[in-house]
Amino acid sequence: MPPTAAFECKGAGLLAARLAVADGNAGRQRLMEQLRVVALIDNVEDRRAALAGLLRSAGLHVALSLPHGIDAVTAARREAPPIVFISFEEPLPRAIQTVEEVALAVPDVIIAAFADEADTHAYRRALAAGAKYLIDTPLSENEMRNVIEAILPDGPRTPVRDAGSVVVIAGQKGGIGKTTISVNLASSIAHENRGSVLLIDLDPDFGDAGILMDLNTNISTARAARDQALFEFDTFKRSLSLHESGAFLLGAPQNFAERLATSPAEVRQLVEFASHAFDYVLIDTPCMMNETVVAALNIADVTLVTTTLEFGSLRNTSLMLQEMAYEGGSPERTVVVANHIDPVAGFSVGDAAEVLERESVWEVPYDQAMPRATQLGQPLAITRPKSAASKSLRALAGRLGEDPARIDRRIAVRGVSLAPAEVRQRLATLVARQAQPEPGQLPAIRYVFSAAKRANTYHVEGCAVERRLTGRSLAPLDELPANLRPCRVCLGAEAAA
């Protein structure tokens, strides 16, 4: 069983905030010692004893170890430990009551609920009751240490670089919620006063970030990239669009006159310039891997690779991660974000972690209010901050200024797969055939096509026709559907042949 700190449920940064105001190294050390006091509430006596031993082996002091009930709540109120571990299993009503009463009895307590089979249903119930984490029950010292590391920081947050943090939100398929995540992260950072933030829409063809924020774009990214040398910081900020949350937007072109070609060097200079004017620069990329996107990836402090838990999206995400590695991208600076855009996903998060060869995947739960919030141009992280998806995105936003190694904490729950065995096997086989090229060799050429029933052509990436496709998919020539023919715009010679 892998280490599992499965879901972060409520409130991020409490311990880090306490550490940040500690008076000097001595004060910080005393505070760290206080934070290493924990309580344990569990009805299963043998498991409670085993977990108490694991907590002690991880360097924590177990102030109390009791079953569920009024005695546990009373003792927690008396001892006031900063962290309380509570079992969260059937019967759930009793577990929910204990979490609620402990949260009420101990102000600012961090509740880490745990279960032998942590799942999304239990996660939502734990979140609503007042827990901050839901974890799979740790079974070894290493697993417990990973959980404690996720909960207990080593010190106050430090920025990755002298300039602002650059975060690229990428994805290789349309309709996966990439722009939705970008908009919610940017508005959350600004609304919660985590720092100044600029969202850059890098789509050259009428990107949607402005629509999702209900903003008109004063100047396009392409125009700003070409004119960047003329800007001072103050004039640059005045040219941007400002969202009610406090986030700034540099949007995609809103008319044909603004569809200007930009070079990778110009984009890189623009991002570097913006990172000295803002604490955070978030870049929403188009669904392609062209030279401009590669330039953004190369300068990013962290890349959030967005995917849904569907067959085509996972396959394309695997291809994208391989291509990023070929272009020199660092896996250590990459976080995979699984976005639930449907109430019932095709694959589990554990399937995604296995297929994508990731130890962990950040999960954004399904929220039925998200599509309407998108249509109204109202970021859900602002309008409904307590919803499951909002809490996940706000927690992620709170970690974007940290070392990327500390962001990737939402460990995938490797429970029962949602997909039939033959479907999982087919996906694994397709991904395995996508062999990563040797250094110095060119990756296999992949073509873009639409999954729509009426689709009859395939394209190279970046084709003017391809950019208008819905449901984009990528495949090498030998895996394209048999009914497709080459595009006469981007593959004219091949089409004629």
Q: Which of 323-327, 402-406, 408-412 has the highest mean pLDDT?
A: 323-327
Answer yes or no: pTM beyond 0.85.
no
pLDDT of residue 475: 80
- How does residue 84 score in pLDDT terms, banded at 50, 70 and 90? very high
- How does residue 424 score in pLDDT terms, banded at 50, 70 and 90? confident
Nearby residues of 287 by Cβ (< 8 Å), 6 or more positions away: 171, 172, 173, 174, 178, 472
More confident residue, 322 or 32: 322
pLDDT reading at 442 higher than 70: no
pLDDT of residue 471: 67
**Stretch among 345-349, 428-432, 477-481 having the lowest mean pLDDT:** 428-432
pLDDT, tens digit, for every residue of 142-200? Answer: 778 777 777 765 433 333 345 788 999 998 877 888 899 999 999 999 888 888 899 99
pLDDT of residue 66: 92
Span 216-242, average pLDDT: 78
The whole-angstrom separation of Cα 178 and Cα 254 is 20
pLDDT reading at 9 higher than 50: no
Please name the residue that has the structure tokens 């029962």: 416
The whole-angstrom separation of Cα 221 and Cα 251 is 6
Span 386-400, average pLDDT: 86
Helices (DSSP H) in 231-356: which residue ranges?
Answer: 233-238, 264-275, 291-299, 311-326, 349-355
Span 12-23, average pLDDT: 42
Read off the tokens for 368.
Answer: 């039925």
pLDDT of residue 311: 86
Span 456-470, average pLDDT: 71
Span 475-483, average pLDDT: 80
pLDDT reading at 201 higher than 50: yes
pLDDT reading at 339 higher than 70: yes
pLDDT of residue 202: 85
> Side chain identity at 123, as an amino acid letter?
Y
Look at residues 273, 262, 265 and name the one whose alpha carbon lies nearest to residue 240: 273
